[in-house]
Amino acid sequence: MRLKSYKGSALTRYENRWFFIFILPWILGFIFFQIGPMIFSLIMSLCNWEIIAAPQFIGLDNYKTFWTDPLIRQSFKVTFLYSLMTIPTGIVLGVLLALLMNQAVKGITMFRTLYYLPAVTSAVSAAILWIFVFDPQYGILNFLLLKFLGIKGPPWFGSETWALPALAIMTLWGIGGSMIIYLAALQSIPTQLYEAAEIDGANSVQQFFRITLPMLTPAIFFNLVMGIIGALQAFTQAFVTTNGGPANATLFYALYLYNNAFRYYQMGYASALAWMLLLVIFIITRVVFKTSNWVYYEVGT
Amino acid sequence: MDEMINRKNMSLSFFESKRKVRILKIILVYLVLIVGLLVVLLPFIWTLSTSLKPLEEAFLWPPSFTPSKFMWSNYLQALEKLDMLKCTVNTLEVTFGALIGALLSNSLVAFGFARLRSPWRDTIFAIVLATMMLPYQVTLIPLYIIYKELHWLDTFKPLIVPAYFGNPFYIFLLRQFFLGIPKEYDEAALIDGCSYPRIYWSIILPMARPVLITVGIFSFMGSWNDLMGPLIILSSYEKHTLALRLAVFRQDVFSYALNFTILAAASIMVTLPLIVIFFLAQKYFIRGVVVSGLKG
């Protein structure tokens, strides 16, 4: 019905045609760089595809292997532990830091800029900077630990126990990215809310939990979702520093996927892993969205 | 009378203590800020210091922050050993190739979504947003095979060409900005007989400078920092980008210990351009992050 009446007007038809001309780059990209390759990938995931030999159709075998592959279990464990170390800490630290950056003291913009620097540092360079810090013998971190706390530092990237926490520390170092988002959210809270609370006699702790925190929940939610997706796709840091070791202690899911595709040339199996990744991301974001009743949305937005 | 004076004193001391609390708070804020800053800057400072040390000094215990003499030659050696000039040329070629594509294609697409009406518009835009959630790994492997068949492997094409076909994140950013430009401009131009391409090119684009800069910076950083793309596409040594060369150099165990200070110098040099761009264009950069975070 709507389509019919729309078809009637020459001007809207003209506009509609131009609409499709303008979005044409995206449509072509969607077909050739997304949907097309995705269909191809789905077919590959049903094959034994070793690049050099002709592909063989093997049905769901790759997906069956997925459930029995011990390294899959390991990579999920690594990814999960890493998420646990980085996401909650990242949210708490990010909010606290944003509160700090929201203080009206002299020079605060300079602090904001400098705190943000790690977020613009290339992942490869950042990883290398931290290699120097974490170096067990010549690194500065273990020296500081010994000097100020009297602790003999662990071998970090060389240790099965400490390699993953070291990567988590590296990630938390880039907290400036989420801090900026919290800060913007803080600054968009209407001041009348605080004024009204002041008149009602609410103290600053009450104001934080009743006004600030609820108003920050959309930003927290955004960073939570991004954090989960980021953890599931974490690759560069681990690739540069530990390459999955020692003893697979930092074998992230995305790293294992890369290894299958481009080191073992198991293109079919790697495609199946990619589809399982898509599925996992889909399920987790669904669950997060379904349980997001703690997120406060202003009426009208 | 006495009572009144007492009262005055009391209120004075009350203000006094309130001021003291304020000052104390400010001192505390600065203290935390500075400690945090030291943590944030530690990797930069430490790597910078390592990059300037003579090699044997990098392995000294206890380590020191200040090199005994400044070995600027480490930087020259890094340039030479990692063949960084060639890598820089490669990186710039990829970066600017993709940058132009990103600015052109995404502004066109965003113009369509923000300024033109079609019964399909909202449905298609929802699909654009949905593709943001797609992990790149799903298309990585089939695209690799496709590039191989096209004989695009070991060329810059796979790193540049896709940028000409839109990126959901940049489309979103640009559309958000275009929506804020009053529709009256288009209407007046249409009445004057302007075509849509003219409106896009002569009216909307000039007004969209800030957001184009934001997208430009994101695209630049994305290409400059990308490891995965160059890693699977570029196999010959003389085609490496900076990020790839750095990663490869680091993974070579032999060169790692022997070239500790050179690696430090190289990573400082790779990071520096981004830091400079960030300082110059902070405003645009932060705006992009904030828009995507608050409205995304």
Residue A256, domain member (yes or no): yes
Mean pLDDT of the B284-296 span? 71
Q: How many Å apart are CA B133 and CA B141, to the nearest integer?
A: 18
CB A66 within 8 A of CB A253: no
Of B290, B155, B126, the closest CA to residue B232 belongs to: B155
Domain identity same for A79 and A180: yes
Mapped onto helix, strand or coil, the DSSP state of residue A23 is: coil
Q: How many Å apart are CA B154 and CA B28, to the nearest integer?
A: 55
Q: Which residues of B touch A152 (CB under 8 A)?
A: none
Cβ B270–A180 below 8 Å, yes or no? no
Cβ A181–B294 below 8 Å, yes or no? yes
CB B266 within 8 A of CB A131: no
A289 interfaces chain B, CB cutoff of 8 Å = no
**Hey, which CATH number is domain B73-295, 3.20.20.70, 1.10.10.10, 3.40.50.300, 1.10.3720.10?**
1.10.3720.10
Statement: residue B67 has pLDDT above 90? no
CB A182 within 8 A of CB A94: yes
Q: What residue ranges do the domains of chain B occupy?
A: 2-51, 73-295
A56 Cα to chain B: minimum distance (Å):
16
Domain identity same for A124 and A270: yes
In this prediction, residue A41 carries a pLDDT of: 94
In this prediction, residue A136 carries a pLDDT of: 85
Domain identity same for A92 and A172: yes
Q: How many Å apart are CA A92 and CA A115, to the nearest integer?
A: 16
How many independent structural domains does chain A possess?
2
Residue A245, domain member (yes or no): yes
Q: How many Å apart are CA B98 and CA B164, to the nearest integer?
A: 7
Cβ A122–B135 below 8 Å, yes or no? no
Q: Cis before residue A246, ω within 30 degrees of 0?
A: yes
- pLDDT tens column, A64-112: 989 999 999 999 999 999 999 999 999 999 999 999 999 888 888 889 8
Q: Which residues of B touch A139 (CB under 8 A)?
A: 46, 63
A261 interfaces chain B, CB cutoff of 8 Å = yes
Domain identity same for A124 and A210: yes
Statement: residue B114 has pLDDT above 90? yes
Statement: residue A21 has pLDDT above 50? yes
pTM: 0.88
Cβ B196–A143 below 8 Å, yes or no? no
Prediction ipTM score: 0.86
User: Using N-to-C axis directions, what is the helix angle for B242-251 and B260-295, rounded to 10°?
Assistant: 130
A59 Cα to chain B: minimum distance (Å):
18
- CATH number of the CATH domain containing A161: 1.10.3720.10
Domain identity same for A183 and A287: yes
Statement: residue B74 has pLDDT above 80? yes
Mean pLDDT of the A1-19 span? 70
- pLDDT tens column, A204-261: 889 999 899 999 998 899 889 889 988 999 999 999 999 888 999 999 999 999 999 9
Query: CA quadruple B291, A30, B233, A171: dihedral positive or negative?
Result: positive
Domain identity same for A128 and A270: yes
Statement: residue A46 has pLDDT above 60? yes
Cβ A25–B105 below 8 Å, yes or no? yes
Q: Which residues of A touch B137 (CB under 8 A)?
A: 233, 254, 257, 273-274, 277
Mean pLDDT for all residues in chain A: 89
Q: How many Å apart are CA B93 and CA B99, to the nearest integer?
A: 10
Residue A300, domain member (yes or no): no
Q: How many Å apart are CA B262 and CA B245, to the nearest integer?
A: 13
Provide the chain B residues 136-155 that lie in CB contact (below 8 A) with chain A. Answer: 136-146
Residue of A12, A25, A185 lying closest to B117 (CB–CB): A12
Angle at B228 between CA A50 and CA A126, to 5 degrees: 145
Please report which confidence band the pLDDT of residue A33 belongs to, taking 50, 70 and 90 as the band edges.
Answer: very high
- pLDDT tens column, A263-278: 999 999 999 999 999 9
In this prediction, residue B133 carries a pLDDT of: 85
Statement: residue B296 has pLDDT above 60? no
Domain identity same for A172 and A29: no
* AA letter at A163: A
Give the range of the structural domain holding residue A168, as residue numbers without chain letter: 64-294
Residue of A26, A114, A132 lying closest to B264 (CB–CB): A132
Q: Which strand (E) or helix (H) includes residue A159? A: none
A3 interfaces chain B, CB cutoff of 8 Å = yes
Residue A53, domain member (yes or no): yes
Q: Which residues of A82-104 are buried (b: 16+ CB within 10 A; e: fewer)?
A: bbebbbeebbebbbebbbbbeee
A218 interfaces chain B, CB cutoff of 8 Å = yes
CA distances from A217 to A152, A273, A297, B43 (A): 40, 33, 8, 32
Domain identity same for A114 and A33: no
Please report which confidence band the pLDDT of residue B283 belongs to, taking 50, 70 and 90 as the band edges.
Answer: confident
Cβ A20–B200 below 8 Å, yes or no? no
Provide, rounded to the nearest whole percent, the portion of chain B with pLDDT above 90: 60
Cβ A37–B127 below 8 Å, yes or no? no
Of B236, B276, B257, the closest CA to residue B86 belongs to: B236
Residue A301, domain member (yes or no): no
Domain identity same for A28 and A155: no
Residue A36, domain member (yes or no): yes
B26 interfaces chain A, CB cutoff of 8 Å = yes
B247 interfaces chain A, CB cutoff of 8 Å = yes
Domain identity same for A49 and A73: no
Q: Which residues of A touch B263 (CB under 8 A)?
A: 128
